[in-house]
Amino acid sequence: MSGGTSVGVRLASHFATVEQQKHAAVLGMWAWLLTELLLFAGLFLTALILRLTHPEAVQAAARHLKFWIGAVNTVVLIGSSLTMSGAIQLSRLGWQRGMVRFMLATAALGTLFLALKGYEYYADYHEHMMPFLSDRPYALTDSPPSRLFVNLYYVATGLHGLHLLTGIAILLAMTRQASRPGFLAAHQNRIEIFGLYWHFIDLIWIVAFPTLYVLNR
């Protein structure tokens, strides 16, 4: 515990105890993640059904996905989960400044992911792999189901990207709050709760990558 400031949670007026408040926050986040899981499950399921009904078309489309960018991005996100865990550990110890650094690293890795993803989208655009653009003819015209697969790929990765973007925004807002002393004394559990969300975004990608990229190669 050396060097840390005090760690705790300020009691909100409608709770009886801090324990109760923390329990509520954790349960709330898990409930939210459960609904998120079902949201993504619906999408992945649709993609898997398409894969079963039109295997060749899906494979033809998946060959255009940038496997290596996807793979690198998987590593990047796992890395960001590690730095996030680091931030959580440090927050428990009360090392506020170290925690902020780890949070910034997490945000940086998240941004790197988005940058790589953006580059991937750009390359897709270049290869005429954006079938939903009406003014840009689609590359695999002879395979309509592949068009659907690519579109689902955009819906799923787009929705994931949106979650990541939200995550980065919250993370940056929290680092700002945490740059003032005394943050951990009042709000330590915000870090824990946010950590759950961050790991979840990571997990969704870890499911998306095999479903979209690996399985169809």
Partner 1 sequence: MTSGTITDGPALRDPHTPDSRIGHGPDYLHAEHTLRSWFFTTDHKRIALLYLASITAFFVIGAVTAGLVRLALVVPDGQVFTNDTYNKLFTIHGVVMVWFFLIPSIPATFGNFLIPLMIGARDLAFPKLNLASWYVFMTGAFFTLVSVVLGGVDTGWTFYTPLSTAFSNTWVVPALIGVTIVGFSSILTGLNFVVTIHTMRAPGMTWFRLPIFVWTHYATSLIFLLATPVITVALVLLIAERAFHIGVFDPAYGGDPVLFQHLFWFYSHPAVYIMVLPGMGVISEIVPAFAQKKLFGYRFVAYAAIGLASVTFFVWGHHMFVNGQSDLASVAFSVLSFAVAVPSAVKVYNWTATIHKGSLKLDTPMLYAMGYIGLFVLGGLTGLYLATLAINQHVHATYFVVAHFHYIMVGGTVLAFLGGLHFWWPKFTGRMYIEAWGRISAVLIFIGFNVTFFPQFILGYLGMPRRYHVYPAEFQFLNILSSAGSTILAVGYIFPMIYLVYAIWFGKRAPANPWDARGLEWTVASPPPAHNFLTEPQAPKVPYDYPIQARETGRQHS
Member of 6, 10, 31, 136 binding partner 1 (CB under 8 A): 31
Dihedral (CA of 149, 150, 154, 157) sign? positive
| # residues near partner 1 by CB under 8 A | 34
Which distant-in-sequence residues (6+ apart) come within 8 Å of 76 by Cβ?
Answer: 109, 112, 113, 116
One-letter amino acid at 206 equals I
Residue in the structure block whose two tokens are 């925690």? 99
Nearest to 110 by CA among 90, 71, 83, 88: 83
What are the φ/ψ torsions at residue 110 (nearest 5 degrees)?
-60, -40
Q: What span, in angstroms and rounded, lies between the C-alpha atoms of 33 and 141?
A: 38
Q: What mask, x for binding partner 1 by CB under 8 A, covers residues 144 to 173?
A: xx-xxx-xx--x---x--------------
Q: What mask, x for binding partner 1 by CB under 8 A, covers residues 45 to 64?
A: -x--xx--xx--x-------
Q: Does 32 bind partner 1 (CB under 8 A)?
A: yes
Q: Which stretch binds partner 1 (CB under 8 A): 9-17, 90-98, 103-111, 174-182?
A: 9-17
Q: Contact residues for partner 1 (CB under 8 A)?
A: 13-15, 20, 23-24, 27-28, 31-32, 34-36, 38-39, 42-43, 46, 49-50, 53-54, 57, 131-132, 144-145, 147-149, 151-152, 155, 159
